[in-house]
């Protein structure tokens, strides 16, 4: 973990050299050359514990750790007609260890599945006509780990109202995934060599509208329609039946999800904001959920602010879920994955943001350091903690 953070700070020094070349730029000048506008370096550490691992049929350790590092670079230029072109390049890498994944082979802390790396680059392009308030976007992404390969694409369109107080956005995303069918060791065909594979496709459409109500209040309405098809189970999830037999998780090959949300920000003077969010979710697996989120950033000094936050989540659970050893041969579909069970959860913590006038460590263009910590609890007796650090160049 320490080595990862050192890598991030080394990049900070490299970008500072670039900052010296651009220090004389005027913020009102619209450069027709491709210009570095913003860089974000983010590192996070996540840890969870619980005793309802789906790999071992709804019982057993859910211990997992994850170290994630991403770099996000935004480049901007203006065309001869005044069109703003933005290129957003992001790359991330995670390293995780998982006690439950290691139990695919029923030999904890000894198999290759006990840890893995995930690499996920993306590239997005926005073409904005500032005069007409219109933006068109397109992007591609990928995610790669040992048993999973995903390729994504997206297109978007945004249009501001004539008074610039409202904005309508439409976005379409698709993800084409390929899974290695890694079965629990006792369910594999004797003498088989290698793994099979299966596909999974996701198509998501989003419509949103944001509106400035007055100088203090802004609201946004968001609706999604998400359709999935293909292999929607996880091949290494065990399900134990009431008769003691063990099976592979089996779920339907289609799923339709509909989340609807509203977000609001209320400005209490210059030093405090109340940010609230509510989302309702339903799908055709009979899972229904509610999310309520509240965050209150408070500026304590010109350079320092705190952001306490709290999120409450509750879901009914899918009709295909049953705990360990409660499924029977009469069930067409079955899972003992507690992510699909009925539960309530809370996530709370604090964010701290530093924006020193002379920049971080005296580096003028590295103007923001943000640290966030959150603690998660779930009524299935799972807990987790996450801490992240974001350093911004602008």
Residue 17 has pLDDT above 70, yes or no: no
Is residue 387 predicted with pLDDT exceeding 70? yes
Tokens for 2? 């320490």
Can you give the pLDDT at residue 112? 42
In this prediction, residue 88 carries a pLDDT of 98
* Model confidence pLDDT, tens digit, residues 110-139: 444 578 899 999 999 999 999 999 999 999
151 pLDDT above the threshold of 80: yes
Cβ atoms 258, 284 nearer than 8 A: no
**More confident position, 202 or 102:** 202
Query: 343 vs 14, which has greater pLDDT?
Result: 343
Q: Are 218 and 212 in contact (CB under 8 A)?
A: yes
CA-CA distance, 298 to 281, in Å (whole number)?
30
Q: Specify the higher pLDDT residue, 220 or 31.
A: 220
Whole-structure pTM value: 0.88
Q: Average pLDDT, whole number, for the chain?
A: 90
pLDDT of amino acid 106? 62
DSSP letters of 230-262?
E--S-TT-EEEBTTS-EEE-B--SEEEEEEEEE
Give the separation between CA 199 and CA 178, rounded to whole angstroms: 5
What local confidence, expressed as pLDDT, does residue 109 receive?
Answer: 46
The reported pLDDT for the residue numbered 16 is: 45
- For residue 173, give the 3-state DSSP assignment: strand
Q: What DSSP string describes 34-100? A: -EEEEEEEEEEEEEEE-SB-TTTTS-B---EEEEEEEEEEEEEEE-TTS-EEEEEEEEEEEEEEEHH
Task: State mean pLDDT over 16-23.
Answer: 43
Cα–Cα distance, 312 to 331 (Å, whole number): 32
What is the model's pLDDT at position 394?
Answer: 86
**Domains of the chain, CATH where assigned:** 2-24+32-393 (2.40.160.40)
Average pLDDT over residues 386-394: 95
In angstroms, how far is CA 104 from the centroid of its own chain? 26
- Closest listed residue to residue 29, CA positions, set 92, 76, 69: 76
The reported pLDDT for the residue numbered 31 is: 65
Sequence-ordered list of residues with C-beta below 8 angstroms from that of 179, at least 6 positions apart, any chain? 147, 148, 197, 198, 199, 200, 231, 235
Q: pLDDT tens for residues 277-336?
A: 999 999 999 999 999 999 999 999 989 999 999 999 999 999 999 999 999 999 999 999
């Amino acid at each position: 973990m320490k080595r990862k953070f050192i890598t991030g700070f080394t990049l900070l020094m490299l970008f500072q050299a670039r900052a010296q070349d651009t220090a004389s730029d005027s913020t009102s000048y619209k450069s027709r050359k491709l210009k570095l506008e913003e860089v974000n370096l983010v590192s996070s550490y996540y840890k969870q514990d619980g005793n309802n691992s789906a790999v071992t049929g709804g019982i057993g350790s859910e211990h997992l750790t994850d170290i994630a590092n991403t770099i996000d670079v935004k480049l901007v230029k203006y065309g001869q007609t005044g069109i703003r072109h933005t290129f957003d390049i992001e790359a991330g890498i995670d390293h995780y260890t998982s006690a439950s994944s290691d139990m695919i082979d029923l030999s904890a802390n000894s198999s290759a599945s006990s840890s893995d790396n995930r690499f996920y680059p993306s590239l997005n392009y926005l073409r904005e006509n500032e005069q007409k308030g219109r933006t068109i976007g397109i992007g591609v992404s990928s995610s790669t780990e040992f048993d999973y390969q995903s390729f994504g694409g997206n297109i978007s369109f945004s249009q501001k109202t004539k008074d610039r107080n409202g904005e309508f956005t439409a976005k379409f995303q698709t993800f084409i995934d390929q899974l290695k069918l890694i079965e629990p060791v006792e369910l594999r065909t004797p003498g088989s060599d290698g793994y099979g594979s299966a596909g999974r496709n996701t198509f998501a459409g989003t419509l949103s509208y944001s509106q400035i109500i007055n100088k203090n209040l802004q609201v946004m309405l968001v609706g999604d329609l998400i359709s999935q098809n293909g292999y929607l189970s996880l091949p290494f999830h065990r399900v134990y039946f009431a008769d003691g037999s063990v099976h592979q998780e089996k779920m339907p090959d289609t799923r339709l999800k509909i989340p609807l949300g509203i977000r609001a920000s209320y400005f209490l003077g210059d030093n405090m904001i109340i940010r609230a969010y509510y989302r309702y979710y339903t799908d055709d697996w009979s899972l229904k959920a509610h999310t309520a989120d509240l965050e209150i950033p408070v500026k304590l000094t010109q350079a320092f602010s705190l952001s306490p936050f709290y999120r409450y989540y509750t879901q009914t659970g899918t009709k295909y879920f049953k705990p360990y050893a409660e499924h029977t041969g009469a069930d067409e579909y079955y899972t003992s994955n507690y992510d699909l069970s009925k539960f309530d959860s809370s996530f709370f913590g604090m964010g701290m943001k530093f924006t020193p006038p002379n920049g971080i460590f005296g580096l003028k263009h590295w103007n923001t350091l943000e640290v966030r910590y959150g603690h998660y609890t779930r009524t299935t007796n799972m807990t987790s903690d996450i801490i992240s650090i974001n350093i911004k160049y602008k």
